[in-house]
Structure 1
Amino acid sequence: MNPIVPLLSVLALVPSSTARGVATSPDAAAAISIPARQGSDAGTAAGRVRFEGEKPEVKPLAIEPDRAKGCTPAGEAIDAKDESLLIGKDNGIANVVITIEVADAKAKVPEKPIVMDQKKCRFEPHVVVIPAGATVDFLNSDQAAHNVHIYPLKNEGFNQTVAVGGKHTATFPKSDKIQIKCDLHPWMKSWLIVSESPFVAVTDADGAFKIAGLPPGEHKATLWHEELGKAQVVIKVEPDGPDGAAGKSAPLEFKLSQQKKEGRPRR
């Protein structure tokens, strides 16, 4: 990773590898100083992640008809949209994971399992974020068998068949970025992001995100996308003024670009 370069009171985004690039405009970088706010909106980081440059061609998924039996009701085609790079309205990028690290802040583990479904031979949602220590129910809502094959870096891997109407349950104790595939239907791919931080968001179809409740101070934020790689930035949450007024903060805007592909993006 290249050294992070200071810019005013913030740090500018830098690419994590030479395969792909991440950049911000000077105006966007200068907006990363965030005033703290009282109540539920205290220290809210909100904005948008956009694609910069010529949009790459994203081809439909290669779906083999012989393997697609039972995926959808008779006469209904499988959705062949490739979700690995979704660029929407005003170049907003979906499924960018933004994680802000705050000292001593740990994500709370939910009592109930988090659900990832296999529906119409697609994993839904495409990107799921869970707290470290959480349990996931991998469901099969199709009329065809699936298997959940995970590729973790830190957690224990498995390759588990899930029968029609069945489920497989697993717990993930360590922070991780886990690719998930179905070997029976090779076009099925998704990501499970396991985070120790409670301050995590996934951008929506327009590239928008919001992370609330940040305390005053400087915090490292990481942007990660399965095709565009990752980058880091430091955000500064300003303390309240003497009268409790927080002032105004422009929405954050990050611009990601794709450079010549020389390998897989780092997780």
Structure 2
Amino acid sequence: MRRYLVPSALAVALVAGLAARAAAYEAMAVTDGGTLSGTVKFQGTPPPPAKLEVSKDPEVCGKEKMSPDLVVGSDGALANVVVTVKAQKGKKLELPAQDPVFDQKTCEYKPHVLLFPAGSTVDVLNSDGILHNIHTFGTANPPSNQAQPKFKPKIQIKVEKPETIPVKCDVHGWMSAWWVATDQPYVALTDATGAFKITDLPPGDYEVELWQEKLGKKTEKVSIKPKEETKVAWSMSKA
């Protein structure tokens, strides 16, 4: 019996490896791509923004902050929703010409959600001129925990693998943010009006994942036609 265990284990490993390869994103030329655009809104009555106590450096940070974890506009527009088209192939994922910038200003992270391709180097700035401590909680990527005093206005952190990473400041406990490192180009972040746009999608039927840090995930479906723009109006709500 024992002589069959090793081949079986190898077979399982080979199948798993082949499945992982099959699931990997494939870059190809897209000549007849379509566009997905639209808005994401909060469904129902949004809760009032939570107030955050400022317990340190009030001369720079101010006396009070509003939580950025659920930003809803007057018409229900939902900001900072990550919209991911589950595409298996399409245009090549390109690294940005300039490093993504992540600033600490008035003891807030700017932007609250930073979206960038995996393999990028993030420029972490300290515009406050006081001590901060950038702490990333990656699992696929090594965590980073670095003090950033005023004489160190920029720290660079490379994020090699795709992952959604929580970020905190160990000096100012109310400061929080997210880094979203992607492994394919068909990802967008909604703006203050809840709007997003994703271009050059190969024609076909797709699942689209919406993610918002307080509301979790939601899946939508969409059909993309050659050289046409598909407009959607989606919503999210509390579970």
Same fold (TM over 0.5): yes
Supply the distance in 1 between the matched residues of 2:64 and 2:165 (Cα, whole angstroms).
Answer: 23
Identify the match of residue 118 of structure 2 among 132, 135, 141.
Answer: 132
Contact 2:218–2:236 (8 Å) recurs in 1: no
Tell me whether 1:210 sits opposite 2:190 in the alignment. no
Tell me whether 1:68 sits opposite 2:48 in the alignment. no
Residue 78 of structure 1 and its aligned partner are, at CA, apart by 5.4
Q: Secondary structure at the match of 1:90?
A: coil
Contact 1:145–1:162 (8 Å) recurs in 2: yes
Higher helix fraction (1 or 2):
2
CA RMSD of aligned residues (A): 2.0
Tell me whether 1:157 sits opposite 2:143 in the alignment. yes
Aligned to 2:39: 48
Q: Secondary structure at the match of 1:71?
A: helix
Supply the distance in 2 between the matched residues of 1:231 and 1:218 (Cα, whole angstroms).
Answer: 17
Supply the distance in 2 between the matched residues of 1:181 and 1:87 (Cα, whole angstroms).
Answer: 22
Which deviations, in whole Å up to 9, do the C-alpha atoms of 1:79-132 show, x marking residues without a partner? 612110011031011100101132234421124321101111111011100101
Higher strand fraction (1 or 2):
2
**Aligned CA distance change for structure 1 residues 219 and 144 (closer, same or farther; 3 Å):** same
Identity %: 36
Alignment of 1:1-267 (within 5 A): 42-64=33-55, 67-69=56-58, 71-72=60-61, 77=62, 80-105=65-90, 106-166=92-152, 167-239=154-226, 246=228, 249=230, 251-259=231-239
Supply the distance in 1 between the matched residues of 2:84 and 2:149 (Cα, whole angstroms).
Answer: 34
Contact 1:51–1:93 (8 Å) recurs in 2: yes
Q: Which has the higher contact order (CA 8 A, sep 6+)?
A: 1
Amino acid at match of 2:78: I
| TM-score in terms of structure 2 length | 0.80
Unaligned runs of 5+ residues in structure 2 are: 1-30
Q: Which runs of 4+ in 1 moved over 6 A?
A: none
| TM-score in terms of structure 1 length | 0.72
Supply the distance in 2 between the matched residues of 1:238 and 1:177 (Cα, whole angstroms).
Answer: 30
Supply the distance in 2 between the matched residues of 1:159 and 1:122 (Cα, whole angstroms).
Answer: 17
Aligned length: 207
